Amino acid sequence: MLQQREGWTYGILANHVWSFAGSSHRTNVNSTFLQPFLSYTTKTYTTFLINTESTYDWAASEWTVPLNPTVSQLVKIGGVPISFGLAGRYYATTPPGGPDWGLRFIVTFLFPR
């Protein structure tokens, strides 16, 4: 689900994956992924985004919940639109031994039709 209105984009991406066939030597998979997001793009093509990429492992009964504030800027280099972004990542919840924080640098090449 995705909605866009007056510079705002918001919605959620969700899926669930589980094992149902294959080698019995592999660990079974049973997890839900939820990614709600909210972003605002300015008239100068700067985008501010907050989202989470949460996963629930049903077999282990454990959540992984990173919160991802992101800022990106759309520029043209040689007439080609490219978006550069920087995102922090704070883990609100992780399984034991999981990470506390992360950093992401994003480069997105755009190919408009």
Per-residue HEC secondary structure of 21-66 comes to CCCCCCCCCEEEEEEEEEEEECCCCEEEEEEECEEEECCCCEEEEE
d(C-alpha 108, C-alpha 7), whole Å? 19
When the pLDDT of each residue in the chain is averaged and rounded to a whole number, the result is 94
Q: Record the pTM.
A: 0.84
Question: Would the pLDDT of 22 be above 80?
Answer: no
3-state SS class at 101: strand
Question: Would the pLDDT of 11 be above 80?
Answer: yes
Question: Would the pLDDT of 55 be above 80?
Answer: yes
Question: Would the pLDDT of 113 be above 90?
Answer: no
Percent of the chain with pLDDT over 70: 100
d(C-alpha 41, C-alpha 51), whole Å? 15
